């Protein structure tokens, strides 16, 4: 037992510091320990209906789409997502309300009692706390965003009714393998015999289909079983053997994610109307996803941190520039984790001026490493800073009113700037695993 073991009267910050010390490693994939504690607390069925969402990119926005449409249908909905940007309590939403520190601590107290001598990682503890709060809230539907991979992720202790894979890209190679086949196999680990699988990846690795067949899970994939198409700047259509929807509004997220959410709902047993989908799409937004926080200069926050996300960010910037009569310089504030594909991600991004920032912790990459990648790429206008805050302030100081400043590369990078723009302080990244 640790000397500083907190109790029901301890605050959330004390608990989070304690969680960081509980397990010898930040990431320890496997379900035995977390399942044992979940069984003691009766958490393996936190609601009557479960969606689980895995994938390299688009998990958070797909979860948000599902959440808003299901709420429009009058259901009681819980969402677990990670990592957080500003507050740990962001990880749990119940009926579109962020969890409170008091409810989170209450869950931690019960988990601490139940785990006895079982060691849990930070993410496992967070996942159990979410499931505990969902069960207490007596919800109709729970949506779980997978943290890393799928097969051995803590969220996979819960059997999904609908198991969703958004996209497959090369990421977390130390844990998931370095091919799309191996990564697809790990993510398809969320498929169960009681599930139906919905896949939004247009170039689906064969390993995903193989897993579905192995566990006898019906699978419905984009361009094979269901289709979507953008009609114009304002609308798109969705088609499947079960449902057809026309004149759906364009949401402020990648259309592929919106379509994947609609597909998951169309194949589920939940009855949803077109008007509920329309209303949900219109209300769907998520902080840190092409989020504009200032207009003069234009400041955009985006958590893009791998090549696939960088390509989408570049595409969105080109669309944005086409809408403006005059655009000055584009300035990028970038901070990344060293276990990401830094070279390929930076190769895709286009900027007139770069502000590289160091991220700290065992996974943080130094600004000098980022700078060297950019110099190797042929970029000339590159500066390095020892904090994200310093890089952002310099970019703002240098910018003219018609410039664009983009902050990207990591949830940590975005959270630092988001805290500054919202005049918040004392942000603690809590050792969280960033996906």
Question: pLDDT tens across 251-298, in order?
Answer: 878 899 999 999 999 999 999 999 999 999 998 877 888 888 888 899
- Measured in degrees and rounded to the nearest 5, phi and psi for residue 391 equal -65, -45
CATH number of 12-283: 3.40.1190.10
- What CATH number is given for 291-421 in this structure? 3.90.190.20
State what percent of residues in the chain have pLDDT above 70: 92
CATH 3.90.190.20, the chain: domain bounds: 291-421
Which is nearest to 112 in space by CA: 247, 233, 1?
A: 1
Q: Range(s) for CATH 3.40.1190.10 in the chain?
A: 12-283
Strand bridging mode 77-80 / 49-54? unpaired
> What is the per-residue pLDDT across 137-180, written as a single tens digit (0 to 9) for each?
999 999 999 987 889 999 999 999 999 999 998 665 555 656 89
Q: What is the pLDDT of residues 190-240, one digit of tens each?
A: 999 999 999 999 999 999 999 999 999 999 999 999 999 999 988 999 999
Predicted local confidence at residue 24, as pLDDT: 65
Two tokens, residue 421: 């723009």
298: left (phi over 0), alpha (psi -120 to 50) or beta: beta
Which neighbouring-strand residues pair with 408?
Answer: 334
3-state secondary structure of 12: helix
Question: Is the per-residue pLDDT at 66 higher than 70?
Answer: yes
What distances in angstroms separate CA 425 from CA 74, 90, 364, 386, 416, one per listed residue? 37, 16, 20, 18, 9
């Amino acid at each position: 037992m640790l000397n500083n073991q907190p109790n029901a009267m301890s605050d959330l910050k004390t608990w989070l510091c304690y969680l960081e010390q509980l397990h010898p490693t930040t990431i320890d994939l496997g379900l035995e320990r977390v399942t044992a504690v979940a069984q003691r607390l009766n958490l393996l069925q936190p609601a009557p209906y479960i969606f689980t969402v895995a994938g390299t990119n688009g998990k958070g926005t797909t979860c948000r789409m599902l959440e808003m449409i299901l709420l429009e249908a009058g259901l009681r909905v819980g969402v677990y997502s990670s990592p957080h940007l500003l507050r740990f309590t962001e990880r749990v939403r119940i009926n579109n309300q962020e969890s409170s520190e008091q409810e989170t601590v209450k869950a931690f107290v019960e988990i601490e009692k139940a785990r006895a001598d079982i060691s849990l990682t930070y993410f496992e503890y967070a996942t159990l706390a979410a499931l505990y709060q969902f069960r207490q809230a007596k919800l109709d539907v729970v949506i779980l965003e997978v943290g890393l991979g799928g097969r051995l992720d803590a969220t996979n202790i819960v059997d999904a009714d609908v198991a969703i894979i958004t996209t497959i890209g090369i990421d977390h190679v130390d844990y998931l393998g370095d091919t799309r086949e191996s990564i697809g196999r790990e993510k398809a680990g969320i498929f169960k015999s009681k599930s139906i699988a919905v896949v939004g990846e247009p170039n689906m690795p064969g390993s995903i289909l193989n897993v579905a067949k192995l566990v006898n899970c019906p699978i419905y994939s984009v361009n094979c079983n269901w289709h979507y198409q953008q009609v114009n700047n304002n609308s798109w259509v969705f088609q499947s053997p079960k449902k057809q929807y026309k004149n759906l509004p364009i949401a402020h997220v990648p259309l592929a994610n919106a379509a994947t959410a609609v597909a998951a709902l169309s194949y589920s047993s939940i009855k949803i109307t077109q008007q509920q989908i329309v209303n949900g799409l219109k209300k769907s937004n998520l902080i840190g996803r092409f989020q504009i926080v200032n207009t003069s200069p234009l400041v955009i926050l985006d958590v893009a941190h791998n090549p696939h996300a960088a390509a989408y960010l570049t595409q969105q910037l080109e669309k944005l520039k086409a809408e403006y009569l005059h655009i000055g310089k584009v300035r990028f504030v970038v901070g990344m984790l060293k276990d990401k594909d830094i070279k390929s991600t930076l190769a895709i991004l286009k900027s007139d001026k770069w502000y590289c920032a160091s991220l700290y912790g065992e996974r943080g990459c130094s600004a000098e490493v980022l700078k060297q990648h950019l110099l190797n790429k042929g970029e000339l206008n590159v500066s390095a800073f020892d904090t994200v805050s310093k890089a952002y302030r310099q970019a703002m100081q240098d910018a003219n009113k018609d410039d664009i400043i983009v902050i990207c590369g990591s949830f940590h990078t975005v959270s630092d700037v988001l805290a500054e723009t919202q005049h918040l302080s004392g942000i603690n990244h809590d050792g969280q695993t960033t996906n």
